[in-house]
Amino acid sequence: MRISDQEMMLKTDLPFDKAPPYRIKAVEYTIPTTREKRKEIMKKHGYSGRLLPAKYVFINMVTDSGTGALSDRQWSAMMEGDESYFYCRSFEFFEESVQKFTGMPYVFPSHQGRSSEAPIYEVLVKAGDKIPSNTHFTTTSAWSFQRGAEPVDFVCKDYLDENNRGWFKGNMDVKAFEEYFIQHAEKIPLVELVVPNNLNGGQAVSMENIREVRKVIDKYKKIDTQFYLDIARISENAWMIKAHEPGYADKTCLEIVNEMLSHADGCHMSAKKTGMVNMGGFIALRDKKVWQKMQPKVIRTDGYITYGGLSGRDLESLAVGLIEGVNDYYLQDRQRQVDYFANACKKRGVHILEPAACFAVYINAGKCLPHLDHTQGPATCLSAQAYIEGGFASTAMDSLQRGRIDPANPLDVSKRTKAPYELIRCAMPRRVYFEPHYDWAAECLARAMAWGDKLPGFKPIADDRPPLEMSEIGLHTFFDDYEPVFPLP
Ligand code: F0G
């Protein structure tokens, strides 16, 4: 018999602040490698965590998306998956779970985050519109471009101040947003807040910020502007609110998630993160008419509206994982692990972006390798060298790889925007690694950093791929390749 959601929340004096509230039932082995082999692999596979064959990676923090371990509760629910095409039993269970999580009545399953964004952008956004956000994820900015609209980011000033130690540096700059909104209100059908702000250091968003954005929309809207949250990691953001925003210490993370979403008209989720599944997502919203307009779009590409590209067993796993991932004991332990890794880095002199986020540690590679400037890919270099040191894979998010590019000169790095920080994202898979892994990952980064100016800058490799379309421009990061100007040690 499965442990129930209620039992998982019982009061306890067990040390769940020091050890995970779960144990291990299945394990996954790693192929042993040597330094020479890893050097060879790196060279052959484009010096990037994204291109490395995963089988040769010891500790994989390239992404926390779909990389978590399922629980016994999820596996057993999967055996109950109903694979009927229309209105399967599993959909009812899924719908109930999403309604409990979001407080919203209308729900679509989808096979991942970006496929849940598609009908939202198709129904709400048209050419000439402007879509403000704290910082769009790559796919929502691509959907904006695809619709002929312009994604606009309002990054808060605290994030740009390296010495700021605030807990909510993922917030939208509400003042700047307000001025912009007053000017363009009739062209803004949708405002998006990404909670937490993945592309800006994974920083959390406060409840106050969500409330303020809502107020600006209500005060100045000229059309039916919808306010949506991109909630891939909302449960972990809720933990940050519980831990650091006054007035929330005694609320459960589920209550906090409910309150965050009470200010929104709708949301879309890549459930591959705090939904605790390997594949899956959803849309939830309040407006029946908008929901009805989305239905044919979902049917056209993802099958029927009660499965959205997922099998019955996926719906079961997601329904269980969504509530498991917002459990307070689990989230407390998750944050403890992030903090442990952040401290393991700092102890070894590896510079991180402060504060550590709630799902990842972002390494400030610009500070680790000061001899490389933003055109030379310090994060690209440090991330590649850390793999050579000890099989640790991560994602470089520096200006070289992530700067917005000039569509007319996609290979001209000098035309690329400079990112506020040259970051490596070490995104932590859920329920997968333990302290010795985090220590080793930090050790790899420290050993890489110790090479100092013996580490080379990187430059783009010209290729003859057909150019990307304007709407795909943010996706260049998946196709551009780089090489070091001299060999890595
Ligand atoms: N929104 C956010 C904030 C995301 O981080 C992602 C994916 C998506 C939407 C899209 O979801 O991948 O399920 O289609 N982020 C992954 C990452 C890829 O590594 O950060 P998806």
The residue type at 220: Y
Decide whether any atom of ligand 1 lies within 6 Å of the 112 Cβ: yes
Which atom, in ligand 1's list, is nearest to the CA of 63? 19
- 36 Cα–ligand 1 center, Å: 33
Q: How far is the CA of 474 from the centre of ligand 1 (A)?
A: 13
CB 210 within 8 A of CB 260: yes
The whole-number pLDDT of residue 266 equals 98
Contact 384, 398 (CB under 8 A): no
Q: What is the DSSP string of 286-342?
A: S-HHHHHHHHHHHHHHHS-TTTTT--HHHHHHHHHHHHHTT-HHHHHHHHHHHHHHH
SS (H, E, C) 353-418: CCCCCCCEEEEEHHHHCCCCCCCCCHHHHHHHHHHHHHCEECEEECHHHHCCCCCCCCCCHHHCCC
| Nearest alpha-carbon partner for 486 in 344, 397, 385 | 385
**How far is the C-alpha of 382 from the C-alpha of 424, rounded, in Å?**
8
Residues 387, 447 contacting (CB under 8 angstroms): no
Q: Which helix (H) or strand (E) holds 209?
A: helix 207-220
Quote the pLDDT of residue 410: 63
d(CA 284, CA 427): 26
Identify the pLDDT of residue 457: 97
Helix axis angle for 435-450 and 378-390, nearest 10°, is: 120
Rounded Cα distance, 146 and 125, in Å = 10
The reply to whether ligand 1 has any atom less than 6 angstroms from the CB of 113 is yes
- Which two structure tokens, joined as six digits, stand for 278? 């390997």
Query: Is ligand 1 within 6 A of the CB of residue 114?
Result: yes
Q: Which atom of ligand 1 is nearest to the CA of 233?
A: 3
Question: What confidence score (pLDDT) does residue 427 get?
Answer: 98
Q: State how far the alpha carbon of 214 is from the alpha carbons of 152, 380, 392, in Å.
A: 17, 38, 41
What pLDDT is stored for residue 50 in this prediction?
86
Kindly state if the Cβ of 281 falls inside 6 Å of ligand 1. Answer: yes
Residue nearest to atom 9 of ligand 1 (CA): 113
Distance CA 314, CA 77 (A): 9
Q: pLDDT, tens digit, for every residue of 332-385?
A: 999 999 999 999 999 999 999 999 999 999 999 999 999 999 999 999 999 999
pLDDT in tens for each of the 489 residues of the chain? 789 999 999 999 999 999 999 999 999 999 999 999 999 999 999 898 888 999 999 999 999 999 999 999 999 999 999 999 999 999 999 999 999 999 999 999 999 999 999 999 999 999 999 999 999 999 999 999 999 999 999 999 999 999 999 999 999 999 999 999 999 999 999 999 999 999 999 999 999 999 999 999 999 999 999 999 999 999 999 999 999 999 999 999 999 999 999 999 999 999 999 999 999 999 999 999 999 999 999 999 999 999 999 999 999 999 999 999 999 999 999 999 999 999 999 999 999 999 999 999 999 999 999 999 999 999 999 999 999 999 999 999 999 887 777 766 666 767 778 899 999 999 999 999 999 999 999 999 999 999 999 999 999 888 888 888 878 877 888 888 899 999 999
Cβ of 41 below 6 Å from ligand 1: no
Q: Is 137 in the pocket of ligand 1 (CB under 6 A)?
A: yes
Q: What is the pTM of this model?
A: 0.96
DSSP assigned state of 203:
B
Sign of the C-alpha dihedral computed for residues 183, 184, 189 and 191 taken in this order: negative
Distance CA 2, CA 115 (A): 31
Length of the chain: 489
By most ligand atoms within 8 Å of CB, the mutation choice from 111, 117, 198, 234 for ligand 1 is 198
> What are the helix (H) ranges across 225-276?
234-244, 253-262
Ligand 1 close to Cβ of residue 63 (< 6 A):
yes
- 5 near 320, Cβ under 8 Å? no
What b/e sequence results for 386-412 when a residue is b if at least 16 CB atoms lie within 10 Å of its CB, and e otherwise?
Answer: bbbbbbbbbbbbbbbbbbebeeeebbe
Rounded to a whole number, what is the distance in angstroms from the first to the last CA of the chain?
54
Q: Is the CB of 133 under 6 A from ligand 1?
A: no
Type of residue found at 280: G
| Residue reference for tokens 């550590």 | 356
Classify residue 304 by its DSSP letter. -
Among 379, 394, 347, residue whose Cα is nearest residue 457: 379
User: Would you call 335 helix, strand, or coil by DSSP?
Assistant: helix
Query: Ligand 1, atom 12: nearest CA belongs to which residue?
Result: 113
User: Which residue CA neighbors atom 11 of ligand 1 most closely?
Assistant: 113
Cα–Cα dist 221/234, whole Å: 26
Going by alpha carbons, the residue nearest to atom 10 of ligand 1 is: 113
Ligand 1 atom nearest to 194, measured from its CA:
3
Any ligand 1 atom below 6 A from CB of 198: yes
Q: How far is CA 102 from the centre of its chain?
A: 18
Question: Of all atoms in ligand 1, which is nearest to the CA of residue 116?
Answer: 14
Select from 64, 57, 58 the least CA-distant residue to 358: 64
Quick one: pLDDT at residue 302?
94
Residue reference for tokens 């990952």: 441
Tell the residue number behind the tokens 């920080």, with chain if given: 421
Cβ neighbours around 249 below 10 Å, total: 10
For a substitution probing ligand 1, which of 61, 137, 153 has the most ligand atoms within 8 Å of its CB?
137
d(CA 156, ligand 1 centre) in Å? 21
* Cα atoms in the 13 Å half-sphere on the side-chain side of 124: 28
Q: Which residue has the tokens 């996954």?
A: 28
Quick check: CB of 385 below 6 Å from ligand 1?
no
Residue 297's pLDDT is 97
Pocket test for ligand 1, best of 139, 236, 277, 362 (most atoms within 8 A of CB): 139
